[in-house]
Amino acid sequence: MDRIIINGGQPLSGTISISGSKNACLPIMAASILTDQNINLSNVPNLEDIKTMSKVLTSLDVEVDTSKANENKITLKYLNTGKSIAEYDLVRKMRASILVLGPLLARKRHASVSLPGGCAIGARPVDLHLNALAKLGAEFKLDRGYIECSAPKGLKGEEITFPTISVGATESLLMAATLAEGRTKLNNIAIEPEVIDLIHCLQSMGAKIEITDQRTVIIEGVKELFGTSHNIISDRIETLTYVIAGALTGENLKIENIQLEHVSNVLEIFKSLNIDFSFNNSSLNINKTKIFQGIELETREYPGFPTDMQAQLMVLLSKANSESVITENIFENRYMHVPELNRMGANISVEGKKAIIKPSEKLIGAEVMATDLRASVSLILAGLIAEGETVVNRVYHLDRGYEQVESKLKNVGAVIKRV
């Protein structure tokens, strides 16, 4: 099994280019089921989750042309055969596989999808997806680990208010409603940039979607959707991860191919930490942050502070000159990286939803184990500033969401390798 080895203490200087967003790409790939025509995607990251979704879609008779994958381009074409079963061996690897359910119901009126797997960071139940689809006329049952869904009379437009904000449920209903009969109104939707990117792609396919206020969208069902070409947005979480890398040990580190409007909310928080950065069009320049005070913050749905950044921020806050507190409101069980960071000399304690980060004089390299995607990269960030050698095990989590992380860091001066 691969490991990443880091010898810390090296300044990062040079340019890192941000990849496309996998969290935007995955639902857009699933949307290929909504049309028989080609969906041409560019700025597609070369990641394990993209490969897994490609396999899921291939099993459903979507042709996935990866001949230009080295150019970060793929083409998808749904053949619309009788296949509508997303099987366990594929779906268990990634929770986002559930996103094929809505499009399959819209096109085939029936679907069988295994209950999904993925990172062990909380329950993330699919109830929100299923209850909302039921309001559009779907019927479902659980049978031997599979969600068996049908809509024998087709999907019908309806007004739906999500009881809690959910990115996945919003995306599922957006896709299903594009081909539902009549008008669907969705209230209390997620408004993450990845959701908006899906909306833009669906609109370019001929969907009639209107965002009427901040968390409400109206979809007028159409009889068919068409092919399109779409450029995936840049990955905001990767962007912010490398901003923290620069704040930890940067010397004029440049991060390019970013979309500033998607990270400006978090950059405002970073300003309060005296992170030394400046921006110019689609790039940021960052230098090491020397003295800053701790803060208190909570993870919230966009435009709040993203849960996908709390592990990385925790590393930076360990270098503050006063105590910090992070409250995790999105997922339970998402502090599994804390014991590993403490093994390296961090001083972090967990009390329910709160993590208390006390200043740490220095971090020491150690052998550590990644437990999920964001935990993985937090350990790499810690390794960049730790004395001595850090060995990060179970980096297959990392490969799900960070494209060529060791190459990108090595190119800007990190002493890092994969073995």
d(CA 373, CA 412): 22
**Cβ atoms of residues 25 and 57 within 8 Å:** no
Task: Tell me how far apart the alpha carbons of residues 44 and 39 are, in angstroms, rounded to a whole number.
Answer: 12
- HEC sequence for 221-246: CCCCCCCEEEECCECHHHHHHHHHHH
Greatest Cα pair distance, the chain, in angstroms, is 65
Beta bridge mates, 354: 327, 351
Q: Is residue 346 a contact partner of residue 360, using CB atoms and an 8 Å limit?
A: yes
CA 76, 116, 304: angle at the middle one, nearest 5? 85
Name the 3-class secondary structure at 178. Answer: helix
What's the CA gap between 279 and 408, in Å, rounded?
20
Helix axis angle for 236-249 and 264-271, nearest 10°, is: 20
Distances (CA, A) of 109 to 137, 149, 180, 367, 368: 10, 8, 11, 50, 47
Contact 349, 361 (CB under 8 A): no
119 in catalytic set: yes
Which residues lie below 8 Å from residue 5, measured CB to CB, with a gap of 6+?
389, 390, 391, 392, 416, 417, 418, 419
Question: Which residues form the catalytic set?
Answer: 119
